[in-house]
Amino acid sequence: MSKAADMDELEPELPLNQISTLWTVVSQARGSSSPVVEDAQRKLIERYGRAIHRYLLGALRDPEAADELFQEFALRFVRGDLSGVDRGRGRFRDFIKGVLFHLIADHHRRRRRIQSIPDGAPEPEAPAADIHQQERDFLQNWREELLKRAWGALADIERRTGKAFYSALHLRANHPQLRSAEMAEQLSAQLGRAISAAGLRQTLHRARERFVDLLVVEVVHSLSEPTAEKLEQELIDLGLSGYCQQALARYRGGAASRP
């Protein structure tokens, strides 16, 4: 395995202050243009683009309109329009959520104008229940995307190392009722090599640890100043805290061990 691959796999075990966050680069740029900033912007769009588009599609129920607003969002973002950033909160999802809510509101206002609302008539405000539902939908999409990225990163580790972390954990997630011996038999057939029940249990234990580490790293990437306290609060807000307590403790310990 290459040294680069080793470092990639070990990244989740680094202390918080050693994990590079793409959001930090972009939030500090404030519209400036450089290869570093442009690369960070591109990676952020790649990282969260699916969640953004999926949310727009669910909110608008119109694939063409969702595509149009997604392109508009990407254009504004790459252009460096970061006026909505709240550095006090430091969460990339807050910035994205604010921009998307404004884009959707503008879209609905344009539609109402096309439908010939009389001149001078007040714009109807979105009902509070709709706003709350938008908040819930956005948070759910964001959470699902973080989980998908963690699964994808676990699959990458398996491809690089040959350790059956993804295969074992995915099998357990899809078939929680199977006993260890049954799972080991299925996994052996799937991978084409013999795996004992004891070996499966050990692999599952390590896979769970790796998965939650990867999930926490995904959350860290979205914070401008990822202290342990801010990370814990974000995990609580996302409904992921219960899964990640041991990973959070590892990060706290790693940060505390540094001079």
* Euclidean distance between CA atoms 245 and 205, whole angstroms: 15
* Euclidean distance between CA atoms 73 and 96, whole angstroms: 9
* Euclidean distance between CA atoms 211 and 106, whole angstroms: 39
Rounded CA Rg of the chain: 22
Query: What is the pTM for the complete model shown?
Result: 0.79
In terms of C-beta density within 10 A (0-12 exposed, 13-18 middle, 19 or more buried), how is residue 165 classed?
A: buried
Q: Looking at this protein, which amino acid is placed at residue 114?
A: I
Task: Quote the crossing angle between the two packed helices 35-60 and 22-29, to the nearest 10°.
Answer: 100
Give percent of the chain with pLDDT exceeding 70. 75
* Euclidean distance between CA atoms 61 and 70, whole angstroms: 14
Query: CB neighbours of 186 closer than 8 A, spacing ≥ 6?
Result: 171, 175, 178
Better-predicted residue by pLDDT, 123 or 149: 149
How does pLDDT run across 234-248, given as a tens digit for each residue? 999 999 999 899 888
Better-predicted residue by pLDDT, 169 or 61: 169
